[in-house]
Amino acid sequence: MKGILIVGSLNMDFVVRVEHLPQRGQTVPGAEFKTLPGGKGANQACAVGRLSRDQTVRMVGCVGADASGEQLRASLRAANVDVAFVRTVTAAATGVALITVEQSGQNQIVVAAGANECLQPAEVIAAIDAAAASHLLLQLESPLETVAAAARHARACGRQVILDPAPARPLDAALLADVDILTPNESEALALLGLTGSDISLDEAPNIARALLAPGPRRVILKLGEKGVWLADETCSRHFAAPRVDAVDVTAAGDCFNGALAAALAEGQTLTEAIHFATTAATLAVTKPGAQDSIPTRPEVEAMLQARSAQSVEVENA
C-alpha cells in the first residue's frame, strides 16, 4: 500500500487580527481581515500534499454547493491533493470557522460545521477500501460516528490510524483502541482525561501522556506548543524540543504537525525522524499567518532540519 487518506473537515476561515483576544462580553477593535481555506481535515491534507515526496494524497469530506466549496477544492488541488472523494451536498453550506488572532499568535476559534455534518460512515468506509492507503488521518470536526467507523474499518484493514482529538471532547475507549497514534495538544489531553485547564508543564507531561495510553491508543504524541512534544508508548517516554521562533499565528500548527508526521512515516522514516520532521514543519507554520497558507514546503523543512543538525554539531564540538 502507498498513500495517505485524510478524512475530515473542510472550512472557509474568516480571520481577523487583534491586539489582544477579547474577554467575555468585551468588544475589541480588529485590524487585518482575510478569508482563507481551512478546516482541520483539509489543513492536514494540504500539509501532507506539500510535504510528501511521492505519496498519493486523498481527501474525504463534504462541502456545500457554493463558491467556498469550490475554493476549498482548488486549494487542495494546488497542494497535490486528490479531491475525488470530496462530495458536494445541497442540504448545507460549506463549513466556516471564525478565527481571532492576537499579536502573540494565540487564537480563538468558533466553527460552524455546515456540510461537514453530512459525512457518512458508509462513504468513508468505501473510500478507505478504494484508496488502499497506508495511513489514515482523522480529527473530530466530522460526525463522531463517522470518525469511529473510519478508525475501526481502517484498523481492521491494517492501516495506521492517526487521530487528532480536536476539537476537545471526551472519547469512548472503543474509538481510542482503534488508534495507532493519538496527537492531542495540551487542552485536548486534559479534556480527554476529564480535567480542566490548557497548560501542561514538561514535568507533568510524562504522567499525562502515560494516562492517555490507558484507554487503548498504541502511542501518544502530546503536542506542547513551543515546549515541543512528548512521546509515550509501552517502551518509551521521551521529550522532543521545538526550535525557538517568533510566533505570528498558531492556527493550523497542530494540523501541519499531523500532516508532516504522516508524510514522513508513510515514506519510511523512523518515528524519531518523523517527529523531528513534523516538529520542524509545525514550527515553520507558526511564523506565517493563516492556516493552509502557513504550511511550509518540503525544501523549507529540510533546510531548517539541516540548520538544527549543524547547530547540534557545533554545540557538541564546542
pTM for the complete prediction? 0.91
Contact predicate 280/243, CB 8 Å: yes
Q: Which residues are catalytic?
A: 255
In percent, the amount of the chain with pLDDT more than 90 equals: 74
User: What pLDDT is stored for residue 311 in this prediction?
Assistant: 66
What pLDDT, on the 0 to 100 scale, is given for residue 312?
Answer: 59
Backbone torsions φ then ψ of 141, nearest 5 degrees: -95, 10
| 8 A C-beta contact, residue 219 and residue 232 | yes
317: pLDDT confidence band, cut at 50, 70 and 90?
A: very low
Residue 106 banded pLDDT, cuts 50, 70, 90:
confident
For the chain, what is the radius of gyration of the CA atoms?
A: 18
Residues counted in the chain: 318
Per-residue pLDDT, 1:
60
Give the HSE-up count for residue 215: Cα atoms under 13 Å, Cβ half-sphere: 21
| Rounded to 5°, angle at Cα 266 from 264 and 267 | 70
Using the predicted structure, report yes or no on whether residue 315 has a pLDDT greater than 50. no
Going by C-beta distance under 8 Å and a sequence separation of 6 or more, which residues neighbour residue 302?
none
- Residue 10 carries which side chain, given as an amino acid letter? L
